[in-house]
Amino acid sequence: MHLLLVFVGCLGVASSSVFNLHLQANVGELFTFKIEPQLFNWTHQVISEQFRYRPSLQHYPDLPSWMRYMYSHEYHAGFLYGTPPVPAAGKTLNLDVIALNRQNYETRQLVISMFVAHKFITPNVVQMKIDNLNWVHLMDPGRVENLRNIFRKDLWPDSKDDLSVVFMESAINMGGRLPLRPQQREGVIVHVGSFAQFSPRLKELQEEVRPLYKLPSCTYKRTSVQKIFENVGFKLDWCAFKMVGIESPTEVLYHNNHGRVKEQLKEHRHQQLQREQERWLGIPREDVPIRNYIDEFAFAFAIPGMIFAVLVGILSAVLCFQHQKFSVHIEYPMSSTVQMVQCSDTKPMQPVTTLKSLKDPNFLLDNTSMRSQSPNNSLYQLDTGASGIYARPKPPPYKGGTLGRNGVDI
């Protein structure tokens, strides 16, 4: 019974810990939201860094691609910020923010329902980098208003009705380096935009800093408008000061509600929608064609195999032809060698030894006569008719002798 009461009490606490909030963001305009303990009905903080927050898109583990969450140890609060793109226009995003109290590990939930309203993207944008501030300092509405007043009152008077901050991000997240000293600011990149034409003073300022674009950083450089920014607490990196956009007619302002301006803005919106439709969209995974690896392996092995077989056949034919040529070349010198034999005349008391070639035509005649006259001929011919038959000669007669003392024939 007590367990049941505890379980019901927990359900009651959980149901009362869910809070709802409705917000609105505009396309092409910076959206910021501060997450603090008061949103979860927590009024006081006992320990340092007592509360932690984890925002995400409802039923998803992360935030939309255009939104970023950062926690500030300086302000002890979390911040959501980002610029909604054109495809998000007209949609409602539901965000879940889970808060954790590190003192008693109590969790509470905040559901943010955010509607993204239609708005035309400003064509003319001024980009700058502020070195003496961090990203969290531009979450202060007072600083943002001071920055806008510089352009609306001094540098860009025509933009006083529709000037807005269209982009803001930490310089570290944009590829910058951390400062050597932790006490120094990281820097923040800010873009402000409007439908108004760039003023002559802005154009002169851009020509003044144009030679600095080739440098990575130039905080030492002073310009003609340096004091205007420093008087309200902004120190700019003039190497990063740029003007990007198109020259719109002066009368085409977003705040103007004339019919002609509405038609022009409608045409501008139609062109943006066409560009979005022309953007490439990925195909589903099941529609991706499947590769036939059997054909690829067949082509990969068949064609090289045929080429290899042709080369082996050509090489075998060449080697066989060369082998025959070598055989003829080897046999020919053997048949052409000159053999010398020793011949002796049978003149009495004057033996003369000569060398004669086998190719000599007189050699056969001399050999025949020498055979018939030589007493050392080991074969003799039997007189048995027309065909001469050669037989082994008879051994010489034995002559008996006497053996000496040492067994030597005397």
- Tell how far CA 365 is from the center of its chain: 94
pLDDT in tens, 235-246: 999 988 999 986
pLDDT in tens, 294-349: 888 888 888 899 999 999 999 998 888 876 655 544 444 444 444 444 444 444 44
Mean pLDDT score, 97-108: 92
* pLDDT for 111: 96
* pLDDT for 245: 83
* pLDDT for 265: 58
* pLDDT for 5: 33
Q: Between 131 and 7, where is the model more confident?
A: 131
Position of tokens 């007043």? 149
* pLDDT for 81: 96
pLDDT in tens, 212-221: 888 877 767 7
pLDDT > 70 in the chain, percent: 66
**With contact defined as beta carbons under 8 Å apart, do 162 and 196 qualify?**
yes
Burial (Cβ within 10 Å: 0-12, 13-18, ≥19) of residue 109 = middle
Confidence label for 23 from pLDDT (cuts 50, 70 and 90): very high
- The secondary structure of 235-270 as a DSSP string is -B-GGG-EEES----TT--TT---HHHHHHHHHHHH
* pLDDT for 256: 40
* pLDDT for 181: 87
pLDDT at 374 over 50: no
* pLDDT for 330: 47
Q: Cα angle at 49 between 46 and 52, to 5 degrees?
A: 110
Q: Between 263 and 2, where is the model more confident?
A: 263
**With contact defined as beta carbons under 8 Å apart, do 93 and 99 qualify?**
no
* pLDDT for 282: 66
DSSP 152: I
pTM: 0.57
CA distance 267 to 271: 6
**With contact defined as beta carbons under 8 Å apart, do 204 and 155 qualify?**
no
Q: Between 59 and 269, where is the model more confident?
A: 59
Mean pLDDT score, 139-145: 93
pLDDT in tens, 178-214: 888 888 899 999 999 999 999 999 999 999 988 888 8
Helix/strand number for the chain, H first, E second: 7, 15
pLDDT in tens, 344-371: 444 444 444 455 555 555 555 555 554 4
Confidence label for 263 from pLDDT (cuts 50, 70 and 90): low
Instruction: Pick the range with the lowest mean pLDDT from 9-13, 223-227, 228-232.
Output: 9-13
| Averaged confidence pLDDT in the chain | 77
* pLDDT for 347: 46
CA distance 355 to 101: 125
* pLDDT for 46: 73
116 to 46, 83, 85, 193, 359: CA distances (angstroms): 37, 10, 9, 19, 117
* pLDDT for 43: 80
pLDDT in tens, 149-176: 999 999 999 999 999 999 999 999 988 8
